[in-house]
Chain A
Amino acid sequence: MERGYVETRDLHKHFGEVRAVDGVNLSVREGELLVLLGPSGCGKTTLMRMIAGLETPTAGEIFIAGERMDADVPPRARGIAMVFQSYALYPHKTAFRNISFPLEAMGQPPRVLRERVHSGARMFGIERLLDRFPRQLSGGERQRVALARAVVRDPKVFLFDEPLSNLDAQLRAIARYELKEFQRQIGTTTIYVTHDQVEAMGLGDRIAVMEKGRVRQVGSPREVYDYPADTFVATFLGSPPMNLVEHDEETLIGFRPEHLLPRDVFDPREDVVIYHLRVRQVEHLGADRLVYGSLEEERRSDQPVIAGLPVTITMPVVEGQVYEFAVPRRAIRSFDRRTGLARGRGDGQAGSGP
């Protein structure tokens, strides 16, 4: 197994009966941005807090840059910097003093301190805000101050705990782009926690999808999207999620809404699977149309199925009618009905496990 820059081995954290983190083996490569993605309560934040040293593992090991982080290695000795969801700026200190605080704690002389604060501030374009108090800053500016505070100590690993969730939607897209730019520029290994799949897909070099304290899959955004390791990953990623339809007693088949298109759209030579779709409802969302319906095959099911038609397909779709739709065979995934695990392409990338 490749040796990760940050590694967890069979890491557990139990709160009484609750297994918040339940045996996680994770390997983060040097310089990459790994996103921990999962619904709230899946253990992603607890996992990050254990890596930071803010939480003591119930069992298991953590390695950062090859060094074992025992429970008695305090956060300050781990070479990490963390950006919190609320930014956690010190409200009684100016932006300058906020950014310089970790350097003061390291005992840096004032000259070095000033230099590094200014170069950190320059990196995020907040030099003119250094005299302000957090309450005098906008959400986006606070986030930059928090990032600058994380950068100045030159950490081995960045830990980001949903740092964009407090920004409004418009700002978030820009901030996401800038964050990615910045991480690529300085190339510091980064672990990023979010429940937002768009953020995860956009930011991550790799994504680790978590559920119920376990890592379900680790892979590049394309891998986890195109080849989900199980039905949880299949339905958690993608909006609307992957359609799952019963195939037989043992198999579920899955296909993404954007692959379920009217039969006529496909080249007649293309290998497709044809489904008859009874349309129940149509939503016009601007860039595409969402068609809600159910499949009318010999195995009728009332499970709703969603087709995502791009605006380029102008064919009229009337509610209540049955249409011939198709899915390219290469886009069809199959899952074990009982375990939910993916079949075929055997490398389901069950990220956990050596």
Chain B
Amino acid sequence: MTQDAAGTPRPVGGERVALKEAESVVVAAPAIFRRRTLADREDALGRLLLAPALLYVVLLVGVPFGMAVLLSFSAARSGTLTFPWVGLQNFWTIAADPQFRLALRNTTLFTVVSQVLVMVLATAAANVLEAAFFGRRGVRMLLLLPWAVPVSLAAMAWTWIFDSTFSVVNWTLRAVGLLKGWLYWFGDPTLAMIAIITVHVWRMFPFATVIVLAGMSAIPAEIREAAVVDGASFWRRLFQINLPLLLPVVTVAVLFGVVFTSTDLSVVYLLTRGGPYNSTHVLASLAFQRGILGADLGQGAAIALFLLPVLVVVAILMLRVARRAEVGG
């Protein structure tokens, strides 16, 4: 016993003695149960389990990203080890470059048009797939295929579909009598852009459909039935009940879509390689062309980074909308 300032006795050794007694009771238990294992130490275990993910993000995302930022302020070229610092020079150069401006315009067009199409198609498809009909599971599986097919494989098929000689689209249109002349899909800038958007929509929409379907099944059945009993027509239910309640989920789908689309390189690169006459480049493909193929690492990095601030803002806005809709305000 010790005495504190107020003079009241305070037990010090007593507790320890009690603890010791408690321990002596469990001495009989097998040793393995007495020792604190790693599984008991949640703090250490948590760090250990997070480590691979963290390592992955830092090494494969963080480092290249940091490098890209550094490179965009330099005149580095591939093949040399010099790193001449040029400040914002790369950004001024590309801002004045008509090729870059076209790519920026294309990226915006590509993103906005394909996202609008994807969301309309996905909502329609989700409504169809929700209805009970024979073979629904099969159709659902089929629908997911475009998403599962490797993009290079799909692009090959699509290159044939839009081939200047063998285009099945052209032949079909002619056979039906809708087409008099001939469409050179990859020879005309507008047609090439249409082709690119078509393929991209085809690729993206299954995923969006699945997300919308999941969102629809999350709407309580009674709410949807209440709307039916309340006498609302299909369109009124769609626009006044289902879509508003789907908004948080759809927002997330659009957010993903915008990020995936505006940073996508594969469709453009595999279909047109930016052609004809560099008219269908998007920022990602232009960055690849300038930075990797053209060896101008600095400019390539600057082009690639250009959209980053925009995408960050888009992401923040969309997440806010999603949050607000979730709270039901």
Chain A positions within 8 Å of B, measured between CB atoms, are 52-54, 74-76, 80-82, 84-86, 88-92, 101-102, 104-106, 133-135, 149, 153
Known: A135-B328, A153-B231. A105 touches B236 (CB 8 A): yes
| Any A CB within 8 A of the CB of B43 | no
A88 adjacent to B226 (CB under 8 Å) = yes
Known: A84-B222, A86-B222, A90-B241. A133 touches B328 (CB 8 A): yes
Which residues from A are CB-within-8-Å of B181? none
> Would you give the shortest CB distance from A121 to chain B, in whole angstroms?
17
Least CB separation from B241: chain A residue:
A90
Which residues from B are CB-within-8-Å of A85? 222
A54 adjacent to B228 (CB under 8 Å) = yes
Which residues from A are CB-within-8-Å of B240? 101
Which residues from B are CB-within-8-Å of A102? 230-232
| Any A CB within 8 A of the CB of B142 | no
Known: A84-B225, A91-B245, A92-B245. A101 touches B328 (CB 8 A): no
A92 adjacent to B222 (CB under 8 Å) = no
Which residues from A are CB-within-8-Å of B329? 133
A76 adjacent to B325 (CB under 8 Å) = no
**CB < 8 Å neighbour of A105 from B223, B231, B244:** B231
CA separation between A252 and B329, bound complex, in Å? 61
> Would you give the shortest CB distance from A87 to chain B, in whole angstroms?
8
> Would you give the shortest CB distance from B42 to chain A, in whole angstroms?
34
Chain B contact residues (Cβ within 8 angstroms of A): what range? 20 to 34
4 residue pairs, one from A and one from B, having the closest CB atoms:
A76-B231, A88-B226, A88-B222, A102-B230
Which residues from B are CB-within-8-Å of A81? 229-230
Known A-B contacts: A101-B230, A102-B230, A102-B232. Give 5 more (CB < 8 A). A82-B229, A92-B328, A105-B230, A135-B327, A135-B328
Which residues from B are CB-within-8-Å of A74? 228
| Any A CB within 8 A of the CB of B24 | no
B229 adjacent to A75 (CB under 8 Å) = yes
> Would you give the shortest CB distance from B49 to chain A, in whole angstroms?
36
B223 adjacent to A88 (CB under 8 Å) = yes
B25-40 CB mask vs A (1 if < 8 Å, else 0) is 0000000000000000
**CB < 8 Å neighbour of B225 from A88, A89, A92:** A88
A-B contact pairs, 17 of them (CB 8 A): A53-B229, A74-B228, A76-B228, A76-B230, A76-B231, A81-B230, A82-B229, A88-B226, A90-B226, A90-B227, A90-B245, A91-B328, A102-B230, A102-B232, A105-B233, A133-B328, A134-B328
Known: A84-B222, A84-B225. A105 touches B328 (CB 8 A): no
Q: Which of B315-329 contact A (CB under 8 A)?
A: 325, 327-329
- Residue of B226, B228, B325 contacting most chain A CB atoms (<10 Å): B226
Least CB separation from B219: chain A residue:
A91
A75 adjacent to B223 (CB under 8 Å) = no
> Would you give the shortest CB distance from A163 to chain B, in whole angstroms?
12
Which residues from B are CB-within-8-Å of A76? 228-232
| Any A CB within 8 A of the CB of B11 | no
> Would you give the shortest CB distance from A146 to chain B, in whole angstroms?
8
| Any A CB within 8 A of the CB of B135 | no
B213-256 CB mask vs A (1 if < 8 Å, else 0) is 00000001011011111111100100011001100000000000
Known: A86-B222, A88-B222. A52 touches B229 (CB 8 A): yes
Least CB separation from A80: chain B residue:
B229
Known: A91-B245, A133-B328, A134-B328. A84 touches B226 (CB 8 A): yes
B231 adjacent to A75 (CB under 8 Å) = yes
CA separation between A86 and B224, bound complex, in Å? 12
Q: Which of B293-329 contact A (CB under 8 A)?
A: 325, 327-329
CA separation between A76 and B233, bound complex, in Å? 9
Known: A84-B222, A86-B222, A135-B328. A92 touches B230 (CB 8 A): no
CA separation between A187 and B233, bound complex, in Å? 29
Known: A105-B236, A134-B328, A135-B328. A90 touches B223 (CB 8 A): yes
> Would you give the shortest CB distance from A180 to chain B, in whole angstroms?
23
> Would you give the shortest CB distance from B5 to chain A, in whole angstroms?
52
B103-127 CB mask vs A (1 if < 8 Å, else 0) is 0000000000000000000000000
CA separation between A89 and B232, bound complex, in Å? 14
- Residue of B227, B230, B325, B327 contacting most chain A CB atoms (<10 Å): B230
CA separation between A91 and B218, bound complex, in Å? 13
CA separation between A80 and B231, bound complex, in Å? 10
CA separation between A92 and B324, bound complex, in Å? 10
> Would you give the shortest CB distance from A48 to chain B, in whole angstroms?
11
CA separation between A144 and B252, bound complex, in Å? 34
Which residues from A are CB-within-8-Å of B222? 84-86, 88
B241 adjacent to A86 (CB under 8 Å) = no
Least CB separation from A54: chain B residue:
B225
CA separation between A333 and B224, bound complex, in Å? 47
> Would you give the shortest CB distance from B1 to chain A, in whole angstroms?
51
CA separation between A76 and B325, bound complex, in Å? 28
B325 adjacent to A92 (CB under 8 Å) = yes
CA separation between A89 and B225, bound complex, in Å? 11
Q: Which of B168-212 contact A (CB under 8 A)?
A: none
Which residues from A are CB-within-8-Å of B228? 54, 74-76
> Would you give the shortest CB distance from A102 to chain B, in whole angstroms?
4
A92 adjacent to B231 (CB under 8 Å) = no
Which residues from B are CB-within-8-Å of A134? 328
CA separation between A271 and B327, bound complex, in Å? 67
CA separation between A104 and B228, bound complex, in Å? 13
Which residues from A are CB-within-8-Å of B230? 76, 81, 101-102, 105, 149, 153
> Would you give the shortest CB distance from A216 to chain B, in whole angstroms?
28
CA separation between A80 and B327, bound complex, in Å? 31
Which residues from B are CB-within-8-Å of A75? 228-229, 231
> Would you give the shortest CB distance from A81 to chain B, in whole angstroms?
7
Least CB separation from B328: chain A residue:
A91
CA separation between A102 and B227, bound complex, in Å? 8
> Would you give the shortest CB distance from B230 to chain A, in whole angstroms?
4
